[in-house]
């Protein structure tokens, strides 16, 4: 069975409780990032520019829009801080493409929160399946899988919410194949989060158009001259999940920067070393990250989020990388940080996985400290929940974060969207 047939079949499966529970945690995290992202001054004009179509779907920061426009705005704003979840098999951020699509459509269709969570879980899992099928070649050539695989995941989620039949879902995926887009050249700019918003909007539009009777190629994803063939897909074999879903290994961020930096930052978090004693720092990382988050001399706060050298210096000099405000243009120009980052060497190491990092710190005395971390180190659902609630409090303040948490674990979708204007 080809991947398109698999996705069509998967759009109607029953969602396990454990997978839905993880999705609710990602809903909390996604909404907290989006509410905080709406406060980013850089994105204020973008948000205002979309306020041309009134509708029932709430957007972060207040106001309501039609479903497609709301998905675009909420997808973009929720990725504005680059603080949302990641999946390393997917090679992208699944929630920021799928959840904006699901929440906007669910609110438009007056669908209960539980059903929306199930659809989002299906969509996130589908985006991971497509991401695995596309493989590393698609990503390494320059495509942003958050937006490309994410658009297909959003389309599958939307098809489920709309109750599309098999042929309609097939056409929705075919329509998505003409719209899914996003390139890594945008990393470090405002267009990177826009990629996520475009993926979310694609899911809404492709499913609605298919429901309205629009047709497309029978296999626009994997067929001849389809998305895969023209976008460097490896077309790897994938299997639909049974007991254990890929969403169970989703990785949430606890540092407000590119996820490729997190293993290194976690390793350095235990290093209590005076910066003036350091002669050199060697960071070993998987080769994938060398073209993603290795900006050696970042000039802006956005670029700092993609810099091993600068964020390593921040951690060693006591600048909390879990604080969004610390990723500012001023911190990019800090002379003390620049001096320390000049001592950092970043090396690609194929013996490390994409979730691992190894740091060697050499002191002026010749003493050597070796540190290591793997982001796939086990963490229970309870521990994850506690960490995400603390993260939400740091982003939003105690009362709004607790209101959002209570809404996310409840039954009313309106209670969640009512929190979108918390900032």
User: What is the residue whose two structure tokens read 């407000």?
Assistant: 256
Contacts of 155 (CB under 8 A, 6+ apart): 172, 173, 175, 176, 202, 203, 206, 207
Please give the chain's pLDDT, 423 residues, in tens. 899 999 999 999 999 999 999 999 999 999 999 999 999 888 888 888 887 778 999 999 999 999 999 999 999 999 998 899 999 898 899 999 999 999 999 999 999 999 999 999 999 999 999 999 999 999 989 999 999 999 999 999 999 999 999 999 999 999 999 999 999 999 878 999 999 999 999 999 999 999 999 999 999 999 999 999 999 999 999 989 988 899 999 999 999 898 899 999 999 987 889 989 999 999 999 998 998 899 999 999 989 999 999 999 999 999 999 888 899 999 999 999 999 999 999 999 999 999 999 999 999 999 999 999 999 888 899 999 999 999 999 999 999 999 999 999 999 999 999 999 865
**Which listed CATH number (3.40.710.10, 3.40.1390.10, 1.10.287.110, 1.10.4100.10) goes with 3-251+380-421?**
1.10.4100.10
Beta strand 278-285 with 344-348 is parallel
Contacts of 372 (CB under 8 A, 6+ apart): 267, 356, 357, 358, 359
Cα–Cα distance for residue pair 322/150, rounded to 1 Å: 25
Cα–Cα distance for residue pair 187/356, rounded to 1 Å: 21
CB atoms within 10 A of CB 11: 24
Contacts of 163 (CB under 8 A, 6+ apart): none
CA-wise closest residue to 421 among 49, 34, 112, 98? 34
Start and end residues for every CATH 3.30.1330.120 domain found in the chain: 259-374
Query: Under CATH, which architecture does the 259-374 domain have?
Result: 2-Layer Sandwich (3.30)
Cα–Cα distance for residue pair 389/373, rounded to 1 Å: 23
The dihedral over CA atoms of 213, 219, 221, 223, expressed in degrees to the nearest 10, equals -150
Instruction: Name the phi and psi angles at 94, rounded to 5.
Output: -70, -40
Cα–Cα distance for residue pair 286/293, rounded to 1 Å: 11
In 110-261, which residue ranges form alpha helices assigned H by DSSP? 113-140, 148-162, 166-179, 191-211, 227-230
Cα–Cα distance for residue pair 187/306, rounded to 1 Å: 8
Cα–Cα distance for residue pair 210/423, rounded to 1 Å: 36
Please say whether the beta carbons of 283 and 312 come within 8 A.
yes
The dihedral over CA atoms of 187, 193, 197, 202, expressed in degrees to the nearest 10, equals 10
Start and end residues for every CATH 1.10.4100.10 domain found in the chain: 3-251+380-421
| Burial call 365-397: b when 16+ CB within 10 Å, e when fewer | eeeeeebebebeeeeeeeebbeebbebbbbbbe
Cα–Cα distance for residue pair 155/130, rounded to 1 Å: 12
Cα–Cα distance for residue pair 20/124, rounded to 1 Å: 11
Cα–Cα distance for residue pair 28/419, rounded to 1 Å: 11
Q: What local confidence, expressed as pLDDT, does residue 267 receive?
A: 95
Q: What local confidence, expressed as pLDDT, does residue 422 receive?
A: 67
Cα–Cα distance for residue pair 409/101, rounded to 1 Å: 20
Q: What local confidence, expressed as pLDDT, does residue 361 receive?
A: 97
CA-wise closest residue to 376 among 360, 354, 347? 354
CA-wise closest residue to 305 among 83, 32, 145? 83
User: What is the residue whose two structure tokens read 């390593």?
Assistant: 312
């Amino acid at each position: 069975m080809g991947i398109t047939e698999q996705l069509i079949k998967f759009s109607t499966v029953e969602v396990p409780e454990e997978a839905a529970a993880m999705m609710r945690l990602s809903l909390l995290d996604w909404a907290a990032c989006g509410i905080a992202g709406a406060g980013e001054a850089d994105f204020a004009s973008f948000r205002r520019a979309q306020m041309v179509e009134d509708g029932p779907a709430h957007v972060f920061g207040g106001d309501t829009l039609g479903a497609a426009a709301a998905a675009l705005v909420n997808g973009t704003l929720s990725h504005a801080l680059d603080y949302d979840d990641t999946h390393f098999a997917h090679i992208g951020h699944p929630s920021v493409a799928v959840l904006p699509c699901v929440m906007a459509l669910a609110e438009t269709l007056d669908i209960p929160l539980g059903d929306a969570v199930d659809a989002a879980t299906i969509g996130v899992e589908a985006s991971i399946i497509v991401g695995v099928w596309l493989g590393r070649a698609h990503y390494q050539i320059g495509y942003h899988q958050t937006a490309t695989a994410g658009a297909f995941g959003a389309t599958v989620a939307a098809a489920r919410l709309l109750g599309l039949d098999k042929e309609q879902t097939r056409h929705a995926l075919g329509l998505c194949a003409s719209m899914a887009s996003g390139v890594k050249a945008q990393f470090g700019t405002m267009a990177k989060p826009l990629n996520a918003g475009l993926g979310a909007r694609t899911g809404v539009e492709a499913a609605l158009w298919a429901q309205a009777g629009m047709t497309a190629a029978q296999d626009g994803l994997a067929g001849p001259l389809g998305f895969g063939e023209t976008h460097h897909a490896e077309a790897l074999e994938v299997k639909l999940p049974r007991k254990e879903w890929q969403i169970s290994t989703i990785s949430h961020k606890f540092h407000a920067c590119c996820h490729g930096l997190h293993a290194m930052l976690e390793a350095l978090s235990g290093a209590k070393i005076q910066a003036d004693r350091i002669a050199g720092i060697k960071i070993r990382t998987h080769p994938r990250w060398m073209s993603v988050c290795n900006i050696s001399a970042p000039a802006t706060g956005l670029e700092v989020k993609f810099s091993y050298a600068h964020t390593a210096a921040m951690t060693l000099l006591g600048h909390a990388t879990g604080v969004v405000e610390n990723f500012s243009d001023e911190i990019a120009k800090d002379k003390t940080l620049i001096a320390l980052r000049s001592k950092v060497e970043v090396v690609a190491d194929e013996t490390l996985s994409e979730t691992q990092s190894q740091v060697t710190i050499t002191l002026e005395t010749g003493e050597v400290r070796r540190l290591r971390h793997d982001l796939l180190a086990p963490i229970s659902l309870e521990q994850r929940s506690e960490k995400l609630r603390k993260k939400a409090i740091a982003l939003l303040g105690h009362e709004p974060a607790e209101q959002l948490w209570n809404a996310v674990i409840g039954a009313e979708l309106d209670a969640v969207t009512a929190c979108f204007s918390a900032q």
